[in-house]
Structure 1
């Protein structure tokens, strides 16, 4: 291999690694995928991936000279549509349908492509996700309505953060504070039947890092210790910021508007949980920028996760019910990977979010800070820990039972 060819290949691998990291690929999957690409391109490679630092070591087989590239990056955000498109390009390169140069041009187009969904669609998805989560928590119709309204308000701050770097640095505690302040005012002047803490949690559910906590534990289980620890600590700090913002907003609201005794409203019917799954997973298709042709697959993943976890909880208990749900979603994602020749993660993530107990972690933190529980739950800390462990074990067992064909 001549020097010019090696330079072209190493630039491609570095570019590909940065893009896949930007689209939210976990470290253990990204490293495995890059190793496959390096083997395809017939160059030696070693990678060390963390949420904020990417390290590439590349060399020509038989040559002692190594090329090292270290990049300081920001933690990636999920973009399932772009992830799917990049995977298709890699397949085209592997089958010799496209040259390396053609793939690099397409990668640049994907990187600069706009959001496939309009701002209005994303606006509606934020509102729908808040209301759907309130339904899943068996809140009242009052809570569901105001969770939708406050979720729409939260999205306005998300838009503001895209234009202001200062707002972007404080968007998590800011949206929690504004949601809590507004919910307190609503409970006094407009609707005394709402559960303020639950409405606040539902309105900021998009920011709750349950998925990040689960991925961090999965990275630790795969012996990616630095990346897993960093991801978990980042998620815990995000929970602290959200909890503090909500606590401060409620305190300000009670100081400004006063406090009235909460009134209990009847919960939504049990059957609405299935409707909530459809709405929540449909909204996540937009929030995660998934391709429309994968939308139904992703929504089905949510139903599989919920049904399997309910069945498992009925026979084995809540924590092992999460294991059954994760095992079913893992099998489903790997089956999708084999049938559609696409990353299983682009459809399994919706199911994971239905299962992950990030909201339980927030509820426990809220109870610790305020001394009050927003919902009646016994053994919350132990239950949350067991669910997290069950989720990680479920996906590991699924990968053993039906191994995926692709690392992504």
Structure 2
């Protein structure tokens, strides 16, 4: 009897520990609940889970209800960490195949959680610079805009480092970085380079904070009937947008008051082929930011190109909404193929592809359009475009999972 109780204790300890780790790595609620239920069934436990961005509830019991266990915890919203996610998934696979015992699996989880990141602060800072410059390049802006956006992206990372040491800065990080970027962009336009597009440079410098991916995941959770988690994610994303917009608005007003207005001198846009260079640069920055393992880097890099190419082909024959649907469908199928060949969670490459598709910038642009009543870097009908693209992406992922069912729940 004692051995039976001890076995149940170890199993439920493993599931709770695993659930919290996967939540910390940014797994959507509908995928996480399904994954934990599959694991519980594999180790002969019955289960029920309620997952949201800020709380988790585990209910576990044996077949005849001889043992029951309930665990509730408040957690912080997770950040994507594809390297740790991949290693954790390997542990789960070994447990299901009886290669690892539960005790050995718990030790492996301890090792993964305490494993230092191979990306130092300099490399992570480089990812901010690359992401900002790549987005400006993707928008077919001028070379000057690309360079200044990259510089301001590096300054944004300095504030991110500061927030790790100061709780006050953490609480106001999003509006603060938007305000600093806007203020600096106004000063650059007046004193150094009148050819920069101030609004586009601001948007590019804070692109890592634009919650387009969060909005897409929230809509996907709503479509999967995870109403609480989906609603929370969407509202959190909108609050992030409001904070970023207010910071940018305040920074521009202060910048114009201090530096005055500059007379814009337009430069020719970058050639069309630089879009592919932008995709490569953006994917490189995401590989760094997501801590992707070396063995998955090629797959992740390819996901960005596949997403952009497929959506561009779809848009060229139909319109931007169908293009987004086609891109999401192709990247969903690609993710399920990745699961079959690489034996790793599809989310590792799907998230990378979605970031290329997600119109986070259009959402931010549309907010400016509605509040200020003026354009914001090719912003006509941006709000309607953003809604249609979000809906198309979610539909594309649903169709992809129907066309080629995933082998893994993650």
**Superposition pairs of residues 261-280 of structure 1, within 5 angstroms:** 261-280=263-282
- Once the two structures are superposed, what CA deviation does each residue of 1:105-162 show, in whole Å capped at 9, x if it has no partner? 1111111122221211111111011000001111111110100000000111111111
Residue 308 (structure 1) aligns with: 310
The unaligned stretches of length 5 or more in structure 2 are: none
Q: What is the deviation of 1:323?
A: 0.3
Instruction: Normalising by structure 2, report the TM-score.
Output: 0.98
Q: Give the whole-Å Cα distance in 2 for the aligned partners of 1:102 and 1:4.
A: 15
Q: Give the whole-Å Cα distance in 1 for the aligned partners of 2:393 and 2:98.
A: 38
Structure 1 contact 150–179 (Cα < 8 Å) conserved: yes
Q: What is the deviation of 1:63?
A: 1.3
Q: What is the deviation of 1:377?
A: 3.3
**Superposition pairs of residues 321-340 of structure 1, within 5 angstroms:** 321-340=323-342
Q: Give the whole-Å Cα distance in 1 for the aligned partners of 2:67 and 2:16.
A: 17
- Is the partner of 1:62 in helix, strand or coil? coil
Q: Give the whole-Å Cα distance in 2 for the aligned partners of 1:140 and 1:369.
A: 27
- Once the two structures are superposed, what CA deviation does each residue of 1:313-361 show, in whole Å capped at 9, x if it has no partner? 0111111000000001001000000111110111121110000011100
Bigger mean CA offset, 294-303 vs 163-172: 163-172
Residue 262 (structure 2) aligns with: 260
**Superposition pairs of residues 2-401 of structure 1, within 5 angstroms:** 2-63=4-65, 66-401=68-403
- Once the two structures are superposed, what CA deviation does each residue of 1:350-388 show, in whole Å capped at 9, x if it has no partner? 110000011100011122233332212332211111100
- Is the partner of 1:241 in helix, strand or coil? helix
Q: Give the whole-Å Cα distance in 2 for the aligned partners of 1:376 and 1:200.
A: 15
How many positions carry a matched residue from both structures?
408
Q: Give the whole-Å Cα distance in 2 for the aligned partners of 1:20 and 1:83.
A: 7
Q: Give the whole-Å Cα distance in 1 for the aligned partners of 2:284 and 2:266.
A: 30
- Is the partner of 2:164 in helix, strand or coil? helix
Bigger mean CA offset, 368-377 vs 167-176: 368-377
Structure 2 contact 131–281 (Cα < 8 Å) conserved: yes
- Is the partner of 1:163 in helix, strand or coil? coil
1:404 aligns with 2:389: no
The unaligned stretches of length 5 or more in structure 1 are: none
Q: What is the deviation of 1:263?
A: 2.1
Q: Give the whole-Å Cα distance in 2 for the aligned partners of 1:384 and 1:25.
A: 23
- Is the partner of 1:38 in helix, strand or coil? helix
Q: Give the whole-Å Cα distance in 1 for the aligned partners of 2:229 and 2:126.
A: 34
Instruction: Normalising by structure 1, report the TM-score.
Output: 0.98
Q: Give the whole-Å Cα distance in 2 for the aligned partners of 1:86 and 1:155.
A: 28
Structure 2 contact 280–301 (Cα < 8 Å) conserved: yes
Structure 1 contact 24–79 (Cα < 8 Å) conserved: yes
Q: What is the deviation of 1:247?
A: 0.5
Bigger mean CA offset, 256-265 vs 120-129: 256-265
Q: Give the whole-Å Cα distance in 1 for the aligned partners of 2:343 and 2:132.
A: 33
Q: Give the whole-Å Cα distance in 2 for the aligned partners of 1:122 and 1:206.
A: 12
Bigger mean CA offset, 367-376 vs 90-99: 367-376
RMSD between superposed Cα atoms in Å? 1.1
Q: Give the whole-Å Cα distance in 1 for the aligned partners of 2:101 and 2:366.
A: 53
- Is the partner of 1:212 in helix, strand or coil? helix
Q: Give the whole-Å Cα distance in 1 for the aligned partners of 2:297 and 2:374.
A: 39
Structure 2 contact 94–100 (Cα < 8 Å) conserved: yes
Structure 1 contact 247–370 (Cα < 8 Å) conserved: no
